[in-house]
Amino acid sequence: MKTVAQKLFIKSGMKVRVIAKPENFSEIFGSHDAVIVSERSRELADLVLLFVRDREEMEARLGKPQILQPEGALWLAYPKGTSKLKSDIHRDSIREYAASLGLETVSIISVDETWSCLRLKTTQQK
């Protein structure tokens, strides 16, 4: 079974920025060879993993620059419908909002029993 890092296509030495990570992030993410970049760092990341719990948080965080390499990956983790976390967002509402920002969904993964994750790219990255 693949680890979350493998599902996110994280390679050894990649710079990964995790934003609003849940308390059990280390347990979810498991072992990896990535370099975790501080959420507040201005350093460019190869991959940004953004956790959001509701629409308000998604709109506040997704609209901000993520300090990402031009060809970097942006993954947005959100609560599954079956999760104990109550949420007002789901795959389709995220896709719709992301499209309004010039982002499109290119893949989806299951992180664990609580989180699903969408990979977003700018329409210019096609």
Task: Show the domains of the chain with their CATH numbers.
Answer: 4-121 (3.40.50.150)
The pLDDT tens digits of the residues spanning 106-120 come to: 999 999 999 999 999
What pLDDT sits at residue 126? 52
> Is the model's pLDDT at 53 over the cut of 90?
yes
Q: How far apart are CA 76 and CA 47, in angstroms?
A: 11
Please name which of 39, 40, 44, 46 lies closest in space to residue 12, comparing C-alpha atoms.
46
Which pLDDT value is given to residue 34?
79
Say if residues 97 and 50 touch (Cβ distance below 8 Å).
no
pTM: 0.89
- pLDDT value at position 41? 82
